[in-house]
Structure 1
Amino acid sequence: MLHSALAKIKFLLLSLIILLSIRTGYAQSSVPFTVTSQGHIMLKAKINGVEGNFILDTGAGLTLITKTFSARVGKLHKQDGSYTAFRATGEKLTADLYDAQSLTLGSFAEQHPVLTVFDVNFGSIDGLISLKSFMNQPLTIDYSNKKIIFETVKSMAVIQKTGHQIPLQLEESRDKSLDIFAYFIVNNKLTLQFSIDSGAGNNVFRLNSRYIPALGIDTASAAKTIIPSEFDPKVKTVIYQDNVQSIVAKASPAAHCENVKASFIDGLIYDGIVSLNWIGKQITFDLKNRQMIVR
Protein backbone atom coordinates (compact mmCIF):
# COMPACT_ATOMS: atom_id res chain seq x y z
CA MET A 1 0.00 0.00 0.00
CA LEU A 2 2.85 2.39 0.91
CA HIS A 3 4.64 1.63 -2.38
CA SER A 4 1.43 2.28 -4.32
CA ALA A 5 0.85 5.60 -2.53
CA LEU A 6 4.43 6.74 -3.23
CA ALA A 7 4.05 5.82 -6.91
CA LYS A 8 0.89 7.92 -7.14
CA ILE A 9 2.62 10.88 -5.48
CA LYS A 10 5.57 10.61 -7.90
CA PHE A 11 3.17 10.47 -10.85
CA LEU A 12 1.28 13.56 -9.63
CA LEU A 13 4.55 15.46 -9.12
CA LEU A 14 5.73 14.54 -12.63
CA SER A 15 2.40 15.67 -14.09
CA LEU A 16 2.67 18.94 -12.19
CA ILE A 17 6.20 19.56 -13.53
CA ILE A 18 5.03 18.92 -17.10
CA LEU A 19 2.05 21.24 -16.63
CA LEU A 20 4.23 23.98 -15.16
CA SER A 21 6.72 23.69 -18.01
CA ILE A 22 3.88 24.20 -20.50
CA ARG A 23 2.57 27.22 -18.66
CA THR A 24 5.96 28.85 -18.34
CA GLY A 25 6.65 28.64 -22.06
CA TYR A 26 9.06 25.71 -22.36
CA ALA A 27 6.77 23.46 -24.40
CA GLN A 28 7.14 24.31 -28.07
CA SER A 29 3.98 23.85 -30.12
CA SER A 30 2.77 24.62 -33.62
CA VAL A 31 -0.29 24.94 -35.85
CA PRO A 32 -0.40 24.09 -39.56
CA PHE A 33 -1.28 26.58 -42.26
CA THR A 34 -1.92 26.60 -45.98
CA VAL A 35 -0.89 29.23 -48.49
CA THR A 36 -3.66 30.53 -50.73
CA SER A 37 -3.21 31.10 -54.44
CA GLN A 38 -2.63 34.79 -53.63
CA GLY A 39 0.03 33.90 -51.05
CA HIS A 40 -1.95 34.49 -47.86
CA ILE A 41 -1.23 32.46 -44.72
CA MET A 42 -4.49 30.64 -43.95
CA LEU A 43 -5.01 28.81 -40.68
CA LYS A 44 -7.68 27.59 -38.30
CA ALA A 45 -8.38 29.65 -35.20
CA LYS A 46 -11.15 29.97 -32.67
CA ILE A 47 -12.93 33.03 -31.33
CA ASN A 48 -14.81 32.20 -28.12
CA GLY A 49 -14.43 28.53 -29.04
CA VAL A 50 -15.95 28.91 -32.53
CA GLU A 51 -13.56 27.76 -35.26
CA GLY A 52 -13.06 29.65 -38.50
CA ASN A 53 -10.64 30.23 -41.35
CA PHE A 54 -8.31 33.16 -40.73
CA ILE A 55 -5.43 34.88 -42.44
CA LEU A 56 -2.40 35.69 -40.29
CA ASP A 57 -1.88 39.28 -41.37
CA THR A 58 1.18 41.12 -40.06
CA GLY A 59 -0.17 44.31 -41.65
CA ALA A 60 -3.70 44.13 -40.26
CA GLY A 61 -3.01 46.21 -37.16
CA LEU A 62 -6.17 44.99 -35.48
CA THR A 63 -7.79 41.54 -35.49
CA LEU A 64 -10.91 41.56 -37.64
CA ILE A 65 -13.80 39.16 -38.10
CA THR A 66 -16.55 39.35 -40.70
CA LYS A 67 -20.11 40.14 -39.74
CA THR A 68 -21.16 36.69 -40.94
CA PHE A 69 -18.66 34.98 -38.65
CA SER A 70 -19.59 37.21 -35.73
CA ALA A 71 -23.15 35.89 -36.03
CA ARG A 72 -21.75 32.38 -35.53
CA VAL A 73 -19.72 33.48 -32.53
CA GLY A 74 -22.74 35.05 -30.89
CA LYS A 75 -22.84 37.95 -28.51
CA LEU A 76 -19.67 40.03 -28.23
CA HIS A 77 -19.37 42.91 -25.80
CA LYS A 78 -19.27 46.15 -27.79
CA GLN A 79 -17.10 48.86 -26.30
CA ASP A 80 -18.54 52.36 -26.01
CA GLY A 81 -15.61 53.88 -27.88
CA SER A 82 -14.29 53.24 -31.37
CA TYR A 83 -10.95 53.26 -33.15
CA THR A 84 -10.09 55.41 -36.17
CA ALA A 85 -7.16 54.42 -38.34
CA PHE A 86 -5.88 54.96 -41.84
CA ARG A 87 -5.18 52.31 -44.43
CA ALA A 88 -1.82 52.48 -46.15
CA THR A 89 -3.47 54.33 -49.04
CA GLY A 90 -4.68 57.03 -46.68
CA GLU A 91 -8.26 55.76 -46.61
CA LYS A 92 -9.87 56.57 -43.27
CA LEU A 93 -11.58 53.72 -41.43
CA THR A 94 -13.47 53.94 -38.15
CA ALA A 95 -13.95 50.61 -36.42
CA ASP A 96 -16.23 49.58 -33.59
CA LEU A 97 -14.35 47.58 -30.96
CA TYR A 98 -15.53 44.38 -29.33
CA ASP A 99 -14.29 42.37 -26.35
CA ALA A 100 -14.08 38.64 -26.98
CA GLN A 101 -13.47 35.98 -24.36
CA SER A 102 -10.63 34.19 -26.16
CA LEU A 103 -8.61 33.80 -29.33
CA THR A 104 -7.12 30.32 -29.73
CA LEU A 105 -4.60 28.90 -32.20
CA GLY A 106 -3.72 25.33 -31.27
CA SER A 107 -2.30 25.43 -27.75
CA PHE A 108 -1.85 29.22 -27.82
CA ALA A 109 -4.66 31.20 -26.24
CA GLU A 110 -5.11 34.92 -25.73
CA GLN A 111 -7.66 35.85 -23.10
CA HIS A 112 -9.95 38.85 -23.60
CA PRO A 113 -8.70 39.97 -27.02
CA VAL A 114 -10.07 43.14 -28.59
CA LEU A 115 -11.25 42.88 -32.19
CA THR A 116 -13.41 44.60 -34.75
CA VAL A 117 -16.27 43.42 -36.94
CA PHE A 118 -16.70 44.49 -40.58
CA ASP A 119 -19.50 43.75 -43.00
CA VAL A 120 -17.21 42.54 -45.80
CA ASN A 121 -17.20 39.45 -47.98
CA PHE A 122 -13.87 37.61 -47.88
CA GLY A 123 -15.31 34.44 -49.38
CA SER A 124 -14.25 31.46 -47.27
CA ILE A 125 -12.11 33.68 -45.02
CA ASP A 126 -13.70 34.55 -41.68
CA GLY A 127 -11.25 37.24 -40.63
CA LEU A 128 -7.71 38.49 -40.12
CA ILE A 129 -5.47 37.88 -37.11
CA SER A 130 -2.99 40.66 -36.33
CA LEU A 131 0.34 40.42 -34.54
CA LYS A 132 -1.12 42.32 -31.57
CA SER A 133 -1.98 38.99 -29.96
CA PHE A 134 1.68 37.92 -29.93
CA MET A 135 3.39 40.83 -28.20
CA ASN A 136 4.68 38.48 -25.51
CA GLN A 137 4.83 35.26 -27.52
CA PRO A 138 7.63 34.80 -30.08
CA LEU A 139 6.47 32.87 -33.11
CA THR A 140 8.00 31.53 -36.30
CA ILE A 141 6.32 31.46 -39.69
CA ASP A 142 7.84 28.37 -41.28
CA TYR A 143 7.11 28.49 -45.01
CA SER A 144 9.08 25.30 -45.67
CA ASN A 145 6.96 23.11 -43.39
CA LYS A 146 3.85 25.30 -43.51
CA LYS A 147 3.36 25.77 -39.81
CA ILE A 148 3.32 28.50 -37.19
CA ILE A 149 5.65 27.61 -34.32
CA PHE A 150 5.20 29.14 -30.88
CA GLU A 151 8.74 29.50 -29.61
CA THR A 152 10.06 28.90 -26.12
CA VAL A 153 12.91 30.40 -24.14
CA LYS A 154 15.13 27.48 -25.15
CA SER A 155 14.21 27.49 -28.84
CA MET A 156 14.69 31.26 -29.04
CA ALA A 157 18.23 30.88 -27.70
CA VAL A 158 19.03 28.57 -30.63
CA ILE A 159 17.32 30.82 -33.18
CA GLN A 160 19.28 33.84 -31.95
CA LYS A 161 22.52 32.01 -32.70
CA THR A 162 21.58 30.58 -36.11
CA GLY A 163 19.47 33.32 -37.72
CA HIS A 164 20.01 36.75 -39.22
CA GLN A 165 18.61 39.43 -36.92
CA ILE A 166 16.74 42.37 -38.40
CA PRO A 167 15.59 45.17 -36.05
CA LEU A 168 11.91 46.02 -36.20
CA GLN A 169 10.19 49.31 -35.55
CA LEU A 170 6.74 48.91 -34.00
CA GLU A 171 3.85 51.27 -34.54
CA GLU A 172 1.62 50.77 -31.51
CA SER A 173 -1.48 52.92 -31.54
CA ARG A 174 -3.36 53.57 -28.29
CA ASP A 175 -2.65 50.00 -27.16
CA LYS A 176 -5.22 48.84 -29.72
CA SER A 177 -3.34 48.11 -32.94
CA LEU A 178 0.15 47.06 -34.00
CA ASP A 179 2.09 47.30 -37.27
CA ILE A 180 5.72 46.36 -37.92
CA PHE A 181 8.41 48.04 -40.02
CA ALA A 182 12.04 47.54 -41.03
CA TYR A 183 14.58 49.44 -43.12
CA PHE A 184 15.40 48.31 -46.66
CA ILE A 185 17.78 49.63 -49.29
CA VAL A 186 16.27 50.06 -52.77
CA ASN A 187 18.49 49.95 -55.88
CA ASN A 188 21.56 50.56 -53.65
CA LYS A 189 20.32 54.13 -53.52
CA LEU A 190 17.47 54.83 -51.10
CA THR A 191 17.14 53.61 -47.51
CA LEU A 192 13.41 53.39 -46.81
CA GLN A 193 11.27 52.15 -43.97
CA PHE A 194 8.77 49.54 -45.19
CA SER A 195 5.74 48.06 -43.54
CA ILE A 196 6.03 44.25 -43.52
CA ASP A 197 2.65 42.88 -44.54
CA SER A 198 2.01 39.14 -44.88
CA GLY A 199 -1.58 40.01 -45.76
CA ALA A 200 -0.40 41.59 -49.03
CA GLY A 201 0.17 38.12 -50.53
CA ASN A 202 3.27 36.80 -52.28
CA ASN A 203 6.04 38.88 -53.83
CA VAL A 204 4.37 42.24 -53.31
CA PHE A 205 6.49 45.40 -53.38
CA ARG A 206 4.71 48.73 -53.02
CA LEU A 207 6.49 52.07 -52.89
CA ASN A 208 5.30 55.59 -52.36
CA SER A 209 5.05 57.35 -55.73
CA ARG A 210 7.12 60.23 -54.34
CA TYR A 211 10.21 58.06 -54.96
CA ILE A 212 9.52 57.71 -58.69
CA PRO A 213 11.96 60.50 -59.70
CA ALA A 214 14.79 59.33 -57.41
CA LEU A 215 14.53 55.77 -58.77
CA GLY A 216 14.32 56.91 -62.37
CA ILE A 217 10.87 55.46 -63.08
CA ASP A 218 9.33 56.63 -66.36
CA THR A 219 5.61 57.01 -65.67
CA ALA A 220 4.92 57.58 -69.36
CA SER A 221 5.95 54.00 -70.17
CA ALA A 222 4.96 52.37 -66.85
CA ALA A 223 1.71 50.44 -66.62
CA LYS A 224 -1.02 52.46 -64.88
CA THR A 225 -4.07 51.10 -63.08
CA ILE A 226 -6.80 52.58 -60.88
CA ILE A 227 -8.00 50.32 -58.07
CA PRO A 228 -11.20 50.87 -56.02
CA SER A 229 -11.14 50.10 -52.30
CA GLU A 230 -12.83 46.87 -51.19
CA PHE A 231 -14.21 48.81 -48.20
CA ASP A 232 -15.47 51.83 -50.16
CA PRO A 233 -15.53 51.52 -53.99
CA LYS A 234 -15.76 55.30 -54.28
CA VAL A 235 -12.18 55.54 -52.98
CA LYS A 236 -9.77 54.88 -55.86
CA THR A 237 -5.99 54.54 -55.86
CA VAL A 238 -3.67 55.30 -58.80
CA ILE A 239 -0.85 52.76 -59.23
CA TYR A 240 2.13 52.70 -61.58
CA GLN A 241 4.09 49.48 -62.13
CA ASP A 242 7.72 49.13 -63.13
CA ASN A 243 10.78 47.05 -62.30
CA VAL A 244 13.05 47.65 -59.32
CA GLN A 245 16.62 46.37 -59.51
CA SER A 246 17.05 45.33 -55.88
CA ILE A 247 15.57 45.48 -52.39
CA VAL A 248 17.83 44.45 -49.49
CA ALA A 249 17.26 44.49 -45.73
CA LYS A 250 19.59 47.12 -44.30
CA ALA A 251 20.53 44.92 -41.34
CA SER A 252 21.16 41.74 -43.33
CA PRO A 253 21.89 41.04 -47.01
CA ALA A 254 20.40 37.57 -46.43
CA ALA A 255 16.99 39.14 -47.01
CA HIS A 256 17.13 40.43 -50.57
CA CYS A 257 15.46 40.26 -53.96
CA GLU A 258 16.43 41.40 -57.45
CA ASN A 259 14.60 42.55 -60.58
CA VAL A 260 11.11 42.58 -59.13
CA LYS A 261 7.98 44.28 -60.36
CA ALA A 262 7.01 47.04 -57.95
CA SER A 263 3.91 49.18 -57.62
CA PHE A 264 4.27 52.92 -57.07
CA ILE A 265 1.19 54.18 -55.27
CA ASP A 266 -0.15 57.71 -55.02
CA GLY A 267 -1.05 58.76 -51.48
CA LEU A 268 0.74 55.90 -49.70
CA ILE A 269 1.25 56.98 -46.09
CA TYR A 270 4.42 54.87 -45.71
CA ASP A 271 7.71 54.77 -47.62
CA GLY A 272 6.57 51.39 -48.82
CA ILE A 273 5.03 48.00 -48.10
CA VAL A 274 6.56 44.60 -48.74
CA SER A 275 5.17 41.10 -48.42
CA LEU A 276 6.77 38.56 -46.09
CA ASN A 277 7.37 35.42 -48.17
CA TRP A 278 10.55 36.58 -49.97
CA ILE A 279 12.38 37.57 -46.78
CA GLY A 280 13.14 34.02 -45.67
CA LYS A 281 11.90 30.44 -45.41
CA GLN A 282 11.66 30.65 -41.62
CA ILE A 283 10.90 34.02 -40.08
CA THR A 284 10.71 34.50 -36.32
CA PHE A 285 9.00 37.51 -34.78
CA ASP A 286 10.21 38.50 -31.33
CA LEU A 287 8.10 41.59 -30.80
CA LYS A 288 9.03 42.06 -27.16
CA ASN A 289 12.65 42.55 -28.26
CA ARG A 290 11.63 44.35 -31.49
CA GLN A 291 13.34 42.02 -33.89
CA MET A 292 12.75 39.65 -36.77
CA ILE A 293 15.10 36.69 -37.17
CA VAL A 294 15.46 35.21 -40.64
CA ARG A 295 16.66 31.72 -41.54
Structure 2
Amino acid sequence: MSIVLTVTKTSYAQPAVPFEITSQGHIVVKAKINGVEGNFIFDTGAGLTLVTKNFANKLGTLHKQDGSYTSFRATGEPLTANLYDVESVALGSFTEQHAQLTIFNVNLGPIDGLISLMSFRKQPFTIDYIHKKIIFETDKSLAAIHKKAHVVPLQLEISRDKALDVFAYFTVNNKLTLQFLIDSGSGMNIYRLNTRYITPLGIDTVNATKTTHPSEFNPKVVTAIYNANVQSIVAKSSAAVACQNVKASFIDGLIYDGVVSLNWIGKQITFDLKKQEMLVW
Protein backbone atom coordinates (compact mmCIF):
# COMPACT_ATOMS: atom_id res chain seq x y z
CA MET A 1 0.00 0.00 0.00
CA SER A 2 1.30 3.45 -0.86
CA ILE A 3 1.40 5.74 2.16
CA VAL A 4 0.82 9.45 1.63
CA LEU A 5 2.00 11.75 4.39
CA THR A 6 0.88 15.33 4.78
CA VAL A 7 1.52 17.95 7.40
CA THR A 8 -1.09 20.63 7.88
CA LYS A 9 0.52 24.06 7.58
CA THR A 10 0.13 26.36 10.54
CA SER A 11 1.25 29.85 11.45
CA TYR A 12 4.28 28.54 13.37
CA ALA A 13 7.29 26.74 11.94
CA GLN A 14 7.39 23.68 14.15
CA PRO A 15 4.14 22.10 15.25
CA ALA A 16 4.37 20.12 18.48
CA VAL A 17 2.21 17.70 20.45
CA PRO A 18 2.39 17.51 24.26
CA PHE A 19 2.76 14.14 25.94
CA GLU A 20 2.57 12.64 29.39
CA ILE A 21 4.88 10.02 30.84
CA THR A 22 3.35 7.18 32.82
CA SER A 23 4.89 5.76 35.98
CA GLN A 24 6.29 2.95 33.81
CA GLY A 25 7.90 5.45 31.45
CA HIS A 26 5.52 5.20 28.49
CA ILE A 27 5.00 8.26 26.29
CA VAL A 28 1.24 8.92 26.03
CA VAL A 29 -0.15 11.31 23.41
CA LYS A 30 -3.55 12.43 22.26
CA ALA A 31 -4.16 11.28 18.71
CA LYS A 32 -7.14 11.13 16.37
CA ILE A 33 -8.04 8.26 14.10
CA ASN A 34 -10.71 9.17 11.56
CA GLY A 35 -11.31 12.22 13.74
CA VAL A 36 -11.96 10.22 16.93
CA GLU A 37 -9.60 11.19 19.76
CA GLY A 38 -7.96 8.72 22.10
CA ASN A 39 -4.94 8.17 24.34
CA PHE A 40 -2.11 6.32 22.66
CA ILE A 41 1.38 5.16 23.57
CA PHE A 42 3.94 6.57 21.13
CA ASP A 43 5.80 3.35 20.52
CA THR A 44 8.96 3.21 18.37
CA GLY A 45 8.97 -0.58 18.79
CA ALA A 46 5.34 -1.27 17.92
CA GLY A 47 5.98 -2.06 14.26
CA LEU A 48 2.49 -1.13 13.18
CA THR A 49 -0.23 1.04 14.68
CA LEU A 50 -2.69 -0.79 16.91
CA VAL A 51 -6.02 0.14 18.47
CA THR A 52 -8.03 -1.75 21.05
CA LYS A 53 -11.34 -3.30 20.09
CA ASN A 54 -13.16 -0.90 22.40
CA PHE A 55 -11.67 2.08 20.59
CA ALA A 56 -12.28 0.52 17.18
CA ASN A 57 -15.98 0.28 18.04
CA LYS A 58 -16.03 4.09 18.20
CA LEU A 59 -14.76 4.29 14.62
CA GLY A 60 -17.70 2.52 13.08
CA THR A 61 -17.26 0.18 10.15
CA LEU A 62 -13.70 0.00 8.83
CA HIS A 63 -12.59 -1.56 5.57
CA LYS A 64 -10.83 -4.84 6.36
CA GLN A 65 -8.08 -5.86 3.97
CA ASP A 66 -8.39 -9.34 2.50
CA GLY A 67 -4.93 -10.38 3.62
CA SER A 68 -3.35 -10.48 7.07
CA TYR A 69 0.06 -9.80 8.56
CA THR A 70 2.04 -12.05 10.89
CA SER A 71 4.65 -10.36 13.01
CA PHE A 72 6.80 -11.58 15.87
CA ARG A 73 7.22 -10.02 19.27
CA ALA A 74 10.77 -9.66 20.54
CA THR A 75 10.34 -12.94 22.43
CA GLY A 76 9.49 -14.75 19.21
CA GLU A 77 5.77 -14.96 19.96
CA PRO A 78 3.88 -14.82 16.62
CA LEU A 79 0.98 -12.42 16.30
CA THR A 80 -1.25 -12.64 13.25
CA ALA A 81 -3.09 -9.39 12.68
CA ASN A 82 -5.97 -8.39 10.47
CA LEU A 83 -5.32 -5.07 8.75
CA TYR A 84 -7.80 -2.25 8.37
CA ASP A 85 -7.77 0.90 6.26
CA VAL A 86 -8.48 4.23 7.93
CA GLU A 87 -8.83 7.68 6.43
CA SER A 88 -6.38 9.38 8.76
CA VAL A 89 -4.12 9.16 11.80
CA ALA A 90 -3.43 12.59 13.29
CA LEU A 91 -1.20 13.95 16.06
CA GLY A 92 -1.87 17.64 16.44
CA SER A 93 -1.35 19.25 13.05
CA PHE A 94 0.45 16.23 11.60
CA THR A 95 -1.75 13.90 9.59
CA GLU A 96 -1.10 10.65 7.80
CA GLN A 97 -3.74 10.09 5.15
CA HIS A 98 -4.89 6.65 4.01
CA ALA A 99 -3.25 4.76 6.84
CA GLN A 100 -3.55 1.17 7.99
CA LEU A 101 -3.72 -0.36 11.44
CA THR A 102 -4.64 -3.48 13.31
CA ILE A 103 -7.20 -4.15 16.03
CA PHE A 104 -6.60 -6.35 19.10
CA ASN A 105 -9.07 -7.31 21.78
CA VAL A 106 -6.81 -6.37 24.69
CA ASN A 107 -7.43 -4.34 27.82
CA LEU A 108 -4.86 -1.55 28.09
CA GLY A 109 -6.74 0.37 30.76
CA PRO A 110 -6.95 4.06 29.82
CA ILE A 111 -4.79 3.48 26.73
CA ASP A 112 -6.58 3.13 23.38
CA GLY A 113 -3.66 1.73 21.41
CA LEU A 114 -0.14 2.26 20.06
CA ILE A 115 1.10 4.74 17.47
CA SER A 116 3.98 3.26 15.47
CA LEU A 117 6.75 4.80 13.38
CA MET A 118 5.03 3.88 10.11
CA SER A 119 3.38 7.30 10.04
CA PHE A 120 6.71 9.12 10.25
CA ARG A 121 8.86 7.67 7.51
CA LYS A 122 8.97 11.04 5.75
CA GLN A 123 8.46 13.37 8.72
CA PRO A 124 11.41 13.98 11.07
CA PHE A 125 10.42 14.52 14.67
CA THR A 126 11.94 15.10 18.09
CA ILE A 127 10.94 13.48 21.36
CA ASP A 128 11.67 16.19 23.91
CA TYR A 129 11.69 14.71 27.40
CA ILE A 130 12.54 18.10 28.94
CA HIS A 131 9.42 19.91 27.72
CA LYS A 132 7.35 16.74 27.27
CA LYS A 133 6.40 17.23 23.66
CA ILE A 134 6.88 15.71 20.24
CA ILE A 135 8.14 18.32 17.77
CA PHE A 136 7.74 17.95 14.00
CA GLU A 137 10.96 19.21 12.47
CA THR A 138 11.56 21.31 9.37
CA ASP A 139 14.61 21.31 7.11
CA LYS A 140 15.80 24.45 8.88
CA SER A 141 15.36 23.08 12.40
CA LEU A 142 17.03 19.79 11.42
CA ALA A 143 20.09 21.68 10.15
CA ALA A 144 20.34 23.50 13.48
CA ILE A 145 20.03 20.26 15.45
CA HIS A 146 22.75 18.61 13.36
CA LYS A 147 25.22 21.27 14.48
CA LYS A 148 24.89 20.32 18.15
CA ALA A 149 23.74 16.69 18.17
CA HIS A 150 25.48 13.35 18.46
CA VAL A 151 24.58 11.34 15.37
CA VAL A 152 23.63 7.69 15.80
CA PRO A 153 23.06 5.80 12.51
CA LEU A 154 19.87 3.75 12.43
CA GLN A 155 19.05 0.53 10.68
CA LEU A 156 15.44 0.31 9.53
CA GLU A 157 13.47 -2.90 9.33
CA ILE A 158 10.50 -2.28 7.02
CA SER A 159 8.39 -5.39 6.68
CA ARG A 160 6.26 -5.65 3.54
CA ASP A 161 5.43 -1.94 3.73
CA LYS A 162 3.26 -2.70 6.75
CA ALA A 163 5.51 -2.41 9.81
CA LEU A 164 8.64 -0.46 10.73
CA ASP A 165 11.19 -0.85 13.55
CA VAL A 166 14.49 0.94 14.17
CA PHE A 167 17.82 -0.43 15.41
CA ALA A 168 21.25 0.91 16.33
CA TYR A 169 24.62 -0.61 17.29
CA PHE A 170 25.83 -0.45 20.88
CA THR A 171 28.95 -1.83 22.57
CA VAL A 172 28.28 -3.75 25.79
CA ASN A 173 30.89 -4.04 28.57
CA ASN A 174 33.58 -3.03 26.05
CA LYS A 175 33.34 -6.58 24.71
CA LEU A 176 30.50 -7.06 22.23
CA THR A 177 29.00 -4.74 19.63
CA LEU A 178 25.33 -5.65 19.33
CA GLN A 179 22.37 -4.37 17.37
CA PHE A 180 19.50 -3.27 19.62
CA LEU A 181 15.90 -2.51 18.84
CA ILE A 182 15.06 0.98 20.14
CA ASP A 183 11.69 0.64 21.81
CA SER A 184 10.07 3.61 23.52
CA GLY A 185 7.10 1.37 24.24
CA SER A 186 9.15 -0.84 26.57
CA GLY A 187 9.01 1.77 29.33
CA MET A 188 11.83 3.43 31.27
CA ASN A 189 15.43 2.25 31.78
CA ILE A 190 14.88 -1.06 30.03
CA TYR A 191 17.88 -3.08 28.86
CA ARG A 192 17.10 -6.53 27.45
CA LEU A 193 19.66 -8.88 25.94
CA ASN A 194 19.56 -12.33 24.44
CA THR A 195 20.70 -15.06 26.84
CA ARG A 196 23.24 -16.21 24.25
CA TYR A 197 25.43 -13.29 25.36
CA ILE A 198 25.56 -14.25 29.05
CA THR A 199 28.80 -16.21 28.71
CA PRO A 200 30.64 -13.86 26.29
CA LEU A 201 29.84 -10.92 28.59
CA GLY A 202 30.99 -12.79 31.69
CA ILE A 203 27.63 -12.52 33.44
CA ASP A 204 27.38 -14.35 36.78
CA THR A 205 24.21 -16.41 36.36
CA VAL A 206 24.70 -18.14 39.73
CA ASN A 207 23.82 -14.94 41.55
CA ALA A 208 21.40 -13.66 38.91
CA THR A 209 17.72 -13.47 39.80
CA LYS A 210 15.52 -15.62 37.58
CA THR A 211 11.91 -14.64 36.90
CA THR A 212 9.19 -15.56 34.42
CA HIS A 213 6.80 -13.30 32.54
CA PRO A 214 3.55 -14.33 30.80
CA SER A 215 2.62 -12.68 27.52
CA GLU A 216 0.01 -9.91 27.60
CA PHE A 217 -1.52 -11.40 24.45
CA ASN A 218 -1.32 -15.09 25.37
CA PRO A 219 -0.76 -15.93 29.06
CA LYS A 220 0.20 -19.48 28.07
CA VAL A 221 3.41 -18.09 26.54
CA VAL A 222 5.86 -17.64 29.42
CA THR A 223 9.37 -16.20 29.05
CA ALA A 224 12.31 -16.96 31.35
CA ILE A 225 14.35 -13.91 32.37
CA TYR A 226 17.70 -13.60 34.16
CA ASN A 227 18.36 -10.24 35.84
CA ALA A 228 21.97 -9.18 36.20
CA ASN A 229 24.21 -6.11 36.19
CA VAL A 230 25.76 -4.77 32.99
CA GLN A 231 28.77 -2.51 33.33
CA SER A 232 28.24 -0.30 30.28
CA ILE A 233 26.22 0.19 27.11
CA VAL A 234 27.70 2.72 24.67
CA ALA A 235 26.53 3.76 21.20
CA LYS A 236 29.06 2.53 18.65
CA SER A 237 29.01 5.89 16.88
CA SER A 238 29.24 8.16 19.93
CA ALA A 239 30.70 7.63 23.39
CA ALA A 240 28.45 10.45 24.64
CA VAL A 241 25.42 8.16 24.32
CA ALA A 242 26.04 5.74 27.15
CA CYS A 243 24.91 4.29 30.46
CA GLN A 244 26.90 2.67 33.24
CA ASN A 245 26.14 -0.06 35.79
CA VAL A 246 22.56 -0.84 34.86
CA LYS A 247 20.29 -3.74 35.70
CA ALA A 248 19.68 -5.73 32.54
CA SER A 249 17.39 -8.63 31.69
CA PHE A 250 18.75 -11.59 29.74
CA ILE A 251 15.80 -13.18 27.96
CA ASP A 252 15.43 -16.67 26.54
CA GLY A 253 14.20 -16.75 22.98
CA LEU A 254 14.79 -13.08 22.20
CA ILE A 255 14.87 -12.76 18.41
CA TYR A 256 17.17 -9.71 18.52
CA ASP A 257 20.58 -9.08 20.06
CA GLY A 258 18.77 -6.81 22.46
CA VAL A 259 16.04 -4.28 23.11
CA VAL A 260 16.53 -0.95 24.89
CA SER A 261 14.17 1.80 25.95
CA LEU A 262 14.54 5.33 24.63
CA ASN A 263 14.63 7.52 27.74
CA TRP A 264 18.26 6.86 28.76
CA ILE A 265 19.64 7.74 25.32
CA GLY A 266 19.09 11.47 25.74
CA LYS A 267 16.78 14.26 26.88
CA GLN A 268 16.04 15.37 23.32
CA ILE A 269 16.13 12.77 20.56
CA THR A 270 15.41 13.48 16.92
CA PHE A 271 14.48 10.74 14.46
CA ASP A 272 15.10 11.34 10.76
CA LEU A 273 14.00 8.09 9.19
CA LYS A 274 14.60 9.32 5.64
CA LYS A 275 18.30 9.66 6.44
CA GLN A 276 18.28 6.75 8.88
CA GLU A 277 19.64 8.87 11.71
CA MET A 278 18.94 9.44 15.37
CA LEU A 279 20.21 12.80 16.65
CA VAL A 280 20.84 13.00 20.40
CA TRP A 281 21.18 16.46 21.94
Q: Deviations over 1:81-130 (max 9, x none)?
A: 00001110000110000000100100000001110000000000000000
Per the alignment, residue 286 of structure 1 pairs with: 272
Shift of 1:147: 0.2
Q: Is the 8 A contact 2:9 2:93 kept in 1?
A: no
The 1:180/1:25 distance shift into structure 2, 3 A limit, reads farther
Q: Is the 8 A contact 1:26 1:153 kept in 2?
A: no
Q: Is the 8 A contact 1:138 1:150 kept in 2?
A: yes
Q: Is the 8 A contact 1:43 1:53 kept in 2?
A: yes
**Distance in 1 between the 2:240 and 2:21 partners?**
23
Gaps of 5+ in 2: 1-6
Q: Secondary structure at the match of 2:82?
A: strand
Say if 2:74 is the partner of 1:88.
yes
2:201 to 197, 215, 219: 215
1:167 to 141, 153, 173: 153
Shift of 1:218: 2.0
The 1:25/1:61 distance shift into structure 2, 3 A limit, reads farther
1:77 to 58, 63, 67: 63
Per the alignment, residue 245 of structure 1 pairs with: 231
Per the alignment, residue 172 of structure 2 pairs with: 186
1:98 to 63, 84, 100: 84
More helix by share: 1
Shift of 1:40: 0.2
Q: Secondary structure at the match of 1:288?
A: coil
Per the alignment, residue 112 of structure 2 pairs with: 126
Q: Is the 8 A contact 1:89 1:268 kept in 2?
A: yes
Q: State the AA in 2 paired with 1:217.
A: I
Say if 2:100 is the partner of 1:111.
no
1:32 to 18, 21, 27: 18
Q: Deviations over 1:163-211 (max 9, x none)?
A: 1110000000000000000000000110000000000000000000000
The 1:148/1:193 distance shift into structure 2, 3 A limit, reads same
Q: Is the 8 A contact 2:235 2:241 kept in 1?
A: yes
Q: Is the 8 A contact 1:25 1:153 kept in 2?
A: no
Per the alignment, residue 145 of structure 1 pairs with: 131
**Distance in 1 between the 2:107 and 2:28 partners?**
16
More strand by share: 2
1:135 to 121, 134, 137: 121
**Distance in 2 between the 1:22 and 1:208 partners?**
42
Say if 2:46 is the partner of 1:56.
no
Q: Secondary structure at the match of 2:174?
A: coil
The Cα RMSD (Å) is 1.4
The 1:147/1:24 distance shift into structure 2, 3 A limit, reads closer
The 1:153/1:232 distance shift into structure 2, 3 A limit, reads same
Q: Secondary structure at the match of 2:152?
A: strand
**Distance in 2 between the 1:226 and 1:246 partners?**
25
Per the alignment, residue 141 of structure 2 pairs with: 155
Q: Is the 8 A contact 1:183 1:194 kept in 2?
A: yes
Q: State the AA in 1 paired with 2:239.
A: P
Q: Deviations over 1:209-232 (max 9, x none)?
A: 000001111222110011110100
Q: State the AA in 1 paired with 2:110.
A: S
Percent identical residues: 71
Q: TM-score, normalised by structure 2?
A: 0.96
Instruction: Please tell me whether Structure 1 or Structure 2 has the larger radius of gyration of its CA atoms.
Output: 1
**Distance in 2 between the 1:226 and 1:76 partners?**
38
